Amino acid sequence: MKRIAWDQFFMAQSHLISSRSTCTRLMVGATIVRDKRIIAGGYNGSIAGGDHCAEHGCLVVEGHCIRTIHAEMNAILQCAKFGASTDKAEMYVTHFPCVACCKSIIQAGIKTVCYAEDYKNHPYAIELFEQAGVELKKIPFDSHIFRGEEINKAEILNEIKQAAIDEKIPEEYAEKLYLNMTNRLS
């Protein structure tokens, strides 16, 4: 049995957490990890007990929803609340952090930020991370691991091509079939 790699495991955790987000504009999840252990997680949402964007609509001021606390911040604040050190920790987050979260991440002593998707990657955030010696790693998330499958597209293509030869189906038709199938699989 092939076990899931750590990076994908923690990234999967952040994606799972993001499903709890109450802001409809963007669902973000963050996980803080120390020594391969998850110490905190957060999603973007309103303060505990507050109105949710999902029910009341976003509270947009100057292009940003100000109702929510960002996932990265929520994860850091969970550590503050329950007393877990974030020094030299790693963060796994679904989207590239904004400038405000970037500063909090640096100040909390987090040393590595792994993100799955680019999101308005602000040049100032990139500059600050660099200045602070925070390592940035883009780790695209492979959602197939949630279904316990490992999809090898090249293998599928070869199988279809071979089947096409066996069945005397024209190769372009086989290519089309392959594209159709892989689109459905992704």
Residue 38 structure tokens: 């998850």
CB of 95 to Zn ion, least distance (A): 9
Residue 95 in the binding site for Zn ion (CB under 5 A): no
In this structure, are residues 18 and 29 in contact, taking their beta carbons and an 8 Å threshold?
A: yes
Residue 137 structure tokens: 């790693």
In this structure, are residues 88 and 112 in contact, taking their beta carbons and an 8 Å threshold?
A: no
How many CB atoms within 10 Å of residue 126?
Answer: 14
d(CA 162, CA 59): 55
* Residue 72 annotated to the active site: yes
3-class SS at 59? coil
d(CA 124, CA 82): 31
Site string for Zn ion, 13-32 (x = CB under 5 A): ----------x---------
| Number of residues near Zn ion (by CB under 5 A) | 7
Annotated catalytic residue, options 62, 72, 155, 159? 72
Site string for Zn ion, 125-164 (x = CB under 5 A): ----------------------------------------
By CB under 5 A, what part of segment 33-62 binds Zn ion? 53, 58
Residue 106 in the binding site for Zn ion (CB under 5 A): no
Interface contacts to Zn ion, rule CB under 5 A:
23, 53, 58, 65, 70, 98, 101
